[in-house]
């Protein structure tokens, strides 16, 4: 089965328009990142996008149980489904940058599994037991919300525990190839969320324009330090050393500030063509297509492209062409 092309956005006020453009270009899905400290609210932006589109799938990636009550998420998903019937997906994860930026840590995978199970039950119109109390969605016809609501639930999976949870309760998984290049241990639908830029004729990875286009996403490879694709490189060692010079309490925010959407001064100090080349899927259209083929071989059924930089429409169009849309 041929791999599909979707997109994920570091959610901004401009995202609804970018989702409209993505639909015109042939992307099958558009999911909004959820990180309360740095992004616009994904549910609001997706509701606006639902009015500008008719076909493209809409989703939030990822919901973290620490931030919202499961009934709140169920109500939001049911509401969005009413606006965009048959097009809504919710992805649930344990937390990464979103929790770090608010001074917290991710939740356990057991908590993620319980959250997914309860969310599915609520959306199906059932009753759950939580904190010693029974609860369910009680929307009536007057609210305009229909329950049960058919909403696929995916899990943002990285590592054996996460994939184990996904195999038990998820309709699909979304993951990231920077966490390893082994074959994806999941039998169902798998989306790979990644980023890069398509080079114009004559451009190189070091060109300032290229750095600006892909920099906010390329910087994640620096943020992952010795556990990411740049492990052992001069750039990674320099960045990691600077982070480790900070007081321990300041490191999570310094690392994740501007995650996938903007660059910090520290990012710019170590961001260069080597980081773009080794930390993103960037290159000529043919090189990008070859990279996509390798990811499909590893088990990806959907590539979820995350555009960045000052001209998101340009990035969406260039990547769609390289994909073959």
- Asked if residues 45 and 32 have their Cβ atoms less than 8 Å apart, the reply is yes
Residue 96, pLDDT score? 61
Residue 177, pLDDT score? 79
Q: Per DSSP, what are the bridge partners of residue 190?
A: 173
Residue 188, pLDDT score? 81
**How far is the C-alpha of 207 from the C-alpha of 184, rounded, in Å?**
34
Per-residue pLDDT of the chain (325 residues; tens, 9 = 90+): 689 999 999 999 999 999 999 999 999 999 999 998 899 999 999 999 999 999 999 999 999 998 899 999 999 999 999 999 999 999 999 876 555 555 566 689 999 999 999 999 999 999 999 989 999 999 999 999 999 999 999 999 888 888 889 999 999 999 887 654 556 777 788 899 999 999 999 999 999 999 999 999 999 999 999 989 999 999 999 999 999 999 988 888 888 888 899 999 999 999 999 999 999 999 999 999 999 999 888 888 999 999 999 999 999 999 999 999 9
Could you read off the pLDDT of 26-66 as tens digits, one per residue?
999 999 999 988 999 999 999 999 999 999 999 999 999 98
User: Residue for token digits 């980081």?
Assistant: 275
Residue 21, pLDDT score? 98
Query: Going by DSSP bridges, is the β-strand pair 128-130/133-135 parallel, antiparallel, or unpaired?
Result: antiparallel
CA atoms within 13 A of residue 268's CA, in its CB half-sphere = 8
How far are the Cα atoms of 55, 84, 136, 307 from residue 88, in angstroms, in the given order? 11, 7, 20, 21
- Asked if residues 134 and 128 have their Cβ atoms less than 8 Å apart, the reply is yes
Q: Which residues contact 276 (CB under 8 A, 6 or more apart)?
A: 197, 205, 206, 210, 211, 214, 215, 218, 282
CA atoms within 13 A of residue 133's CA, in its CB half-sphere = 4
Residue 105, pLDDT score? 64
**How far is the C-alpha of 8 from the C-alpha of 15, rounded, in Å?**
10
Q: Cα-atom radius of gyration of the chain, to the nearest Å?
A: 19
**Nearest one of 92, 93, 82 to 50, comparing CA atoms:** 82
How far are the Cα atoms of 55, 92, 241 from residue 319, in angstroms, in the given order? 20, 26, 34
């Amino acid at each position: 089965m041929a791999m599909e092309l979707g997109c994920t956005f570091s959610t901004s006020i401009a995202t609804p328009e970018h989702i409209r453009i993505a639909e015109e270009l042939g992307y099958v899905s558009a999911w909004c990142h959820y990180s309360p400290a740095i992004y616009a609210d994904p549910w609001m932006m997706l509701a606006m996008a639902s009015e500008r589109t008719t076909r493209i799938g809409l989703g939030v990636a990822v919901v973290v149980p620490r931030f919202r009550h499961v009934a709140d998420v169920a109500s939001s998903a049911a509401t969005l489904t009413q606006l965009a019937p048959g097009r809504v997906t919710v992805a649930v994860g344990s937390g990464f940058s979103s929790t770090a930026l608010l001074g917290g840590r991710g939740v356990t995978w057991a908590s993620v599994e319980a959250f997914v199970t309860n969310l599915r039950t609520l959306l199906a119109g059932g009753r759950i037991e939580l904190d010693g109390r029974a609860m369910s969605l009680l929307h009536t016809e007057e609210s305009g919300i229909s329950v049960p609501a058919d909403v696929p639930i995916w899990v943002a999976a990285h590592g054996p525990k996460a994939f184990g949870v996904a195999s038990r309760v998820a309709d699909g998984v979304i993951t990231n190839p920077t966490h390893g290049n082994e074959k994806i241990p999941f039998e169902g639908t798998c989306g790979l969320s990644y980023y890069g830029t398509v080079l114009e004729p004559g451009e190189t990875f070091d060109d300032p324009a290229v750095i600006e286009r892909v920099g906010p996403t390329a910087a994640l490879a620096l943020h992952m330090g010795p556990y990411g694709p740049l492990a052992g490189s001069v750039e990674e060692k320099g960045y990691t050393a600077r982070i480790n010079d900070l007081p321990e309490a300041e490191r999570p925010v310094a690392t994740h500030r501007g995650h996938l959407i903007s660059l910090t001064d520290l990012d710019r100090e170590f961001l260069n063509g080597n980081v773009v080349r080794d930390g993103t899927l960037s290159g000529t259209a043919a090189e990008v297509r070859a990279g996509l083929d390798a990811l499909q071989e590893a088990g990806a059924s959907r590539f979820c492209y995350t555009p960045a930089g000052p001209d998101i429409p340009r990035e969406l169009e260039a990547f769609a062409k390289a994909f073959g849309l």
